[in-house]
Amino acid sequence: MKTVSMEKERPEQHSAPHARWVRIALKALLPLLILVVAIAGASYINATSPTAGKKQPAKEAPLVQIETVNRSSETVIVPAMGTVIPAREIALKTRVSGEIVAIHPDFMEGGFVKKEAQLLRIDPEDYKLAVEEEQSQVINATYELKLELGQQKVAQREWELLNGETLTGARDGELALRKPHLEKAKADLAAAQAVLKQASLNLARTALSAPFNSIIRAKNVDLGSQVSINDQLAELVGTDEYRIQVSIPVDRLKWITIPRKNGDKGSEVRISYGNDLETPDERTGTVIKLLSDLEAEGRMARVLVSVKDPLNLKTPKAKHSPLLIGQYVRVEIQGRELDDVFRIPRAALRDNTKVWICGDDGRLYIREVDIVWRDTQTVLVKTGVKEGEHLIISDLAAPVDKMYLRIAQSSSDVPESLTERSQSEESSEK
């Protein structure tokens, strides 16, 4: 009898496929589970994290300096440069010849001589002899004239005795009455007197005097020099007055008062000179003339300024130093006076025609102005600015009309309203 043995089914054989499917499912679901957890975590963090509030960035108003402008009457000052020239200058020449036998003690370069002081003396002996000789000629001519006058009377009586009042002819009568003789005697006397006068003039011209108060600029002769007619002996410059030739633009002549005739008053001039720019020497002068032509190079107009006592001879204790011929000086000519204008610094003028105004509301206002005068330091404005307004005198990097401003405490005449506004703005920024 066959015996068939049958093995029992083991549990591992049934569970092996199930476990395999579980592992596959776990491998598939695990990434999804991780993804879900990550998304949930991110959502939670995003929902529970603190949020930063939005804040408008603070606008910082630029800091400016201001000054209050007011109407006033201003005198136009025309600045310029000038050169000192003589007011009176002559070349002293002789009109007679001879040897110089005497000179003035101060007849030297730089020497001062007063008006009518005798500078030189040419040997007068020859000219004295000439005068004496001509005097004798005059005496002779006078004698001849008197003799002829006596003969005239004799001739007249003889004519009357011989002819009565009957005339035989005009020419015969003139000869009989010696009229040509009388005319010749008179002419001889006049000629002798003229020669004597010329000899006397030559004698007087041997002494050469200063025609005005002078300084010797140059001398060409000395004691013992032989001179001829028209030889130049010296150069004299008047010391009572110097002049300054000033060059100014033609368009500025309208501001200066220039005399039309003698006696008229010209513009006053302030003159400064010297190497010390901080404390230069100063004196005053007056505009006296306008020259008729322009400078050849710069096409500038030229006016003459009179300066009295330029060498301090009348005021020896004066603190300013003397003016020298050829010296370069600075001048300020006082021009016409302008009423109801605003004086502002030249640096406060923007784009050549505009100014910046700080309004009472603390904002910037850009204005066009009407300029009536300008120089290197100052501008005079007629319109475009109002009385009491606050002019901005400092610079702004990017000015925008109606932008807010902060007022510097160093500004002059800062109104309280603007000060309070600036302080409140600073505190709000902090």
Amino acid making up residue 136: S
Cβ 247 vs Cβ 233: under 8 Å: no
Residues 6+ apart with CB under 8 A from 240: 87, 88, 212, 213, 308, 309
Query: For the sheet containing 232-238, what is the strand order?
Result: 89-93, 232-238, 214-219, 112-113
pLDDT by 10s per residue, the chain, length 430 = 344 444 444 545 555 666 777 777 767 777 777 777 777 777 777 777 666 556 565 567 888 888 889 999 989 999 999 999 999 999 999 999 999 999 999 999 999 999 999 999 999 999 999 999 999 999 998 988 888 777 777 667 766 666 655 555 555 556 555 677 778 888 989 999 999 999 999 999 999 999 999 999 999 999 999 999 999 999 999 999 999 999 999 999 999 999 988 888 999 999 999 887 778 899 999 999 999 999 888 889 999 999 999 999 998 888 889 999 999 999 999 998 999 999 999 989 998 899 999 988 888 999 999 999 888 888 999 988 999 899 999 888 888 888 888 888 765 556 655 654 554 554 444 4
Instruction: Tell me the sheet residues that pair with 301.
Output: 248
pLDDT at position 8 is 47
Cβ 376 vs Cβ 414: under 8 Å: no
Amino acid making up residue 428: S
Amino acid making up residue 375: D
Cβ 169 vs Cβ 219: under 8 Å: no
Instruction: Tell me the sheet residues that pair with 384.
Output: none
Report the candidate in 329, 129, 167 with the shortest Cα–Cα distance to residue 244: 329
Cβ 298 vs Cβ 81: under 8 Å: no
Rounded distance between C-alpha atoms, residue 350 and residue 62, angstroms = 17
pTM over 0.85: no
Rounded distance between C-alpha atoms, residue 100 and residue 221, angstroms = 8
CB atoms within 10 A of CB 298: 10
pLDDT at position 179 is 73
CB atoms within 10 A of CB 64: 21
Amino acid making up residue 178: R
The 3-class secondary structure across the chain, one letter per residue, is CCCCCCCCCCHHHHHHHHHHHHHHHHHHHHHHHHHHHHHHHHHHHHHHCCCCCCCCCCCCCCEECEEECCEEEEEEEEEEEEEEEECCEEEEECCCCEEEEEECCCCCCCCEECCCCEEEEECCHHHHHHHHHHHHHHHHHHHHHHHHHHHHHHHHHHHHHHHCCCCCCHHHHHHHCCHHHHHHHHHHHHHHHHHHHHHHHHHHCCEEECCCCEEEEEECCCCCCEECCCCEEEEEEECCEEEEEEEECHHHHHHCCCCCCCCCCCCEEEEEECCCCCCCEEEEEEEEEECCCCCCCCCCEEEEEEEECCCCCCCCCCCCCCCCCCCEEEEEEEEEEEEEEEEEEHHHCECCCEEEEECCCCEEEEEECEEEEECCCEEEEEECCCCCCEEECCCCCCCCCCCECEECCCCCCCCHHHHHHHHHHHHHHC
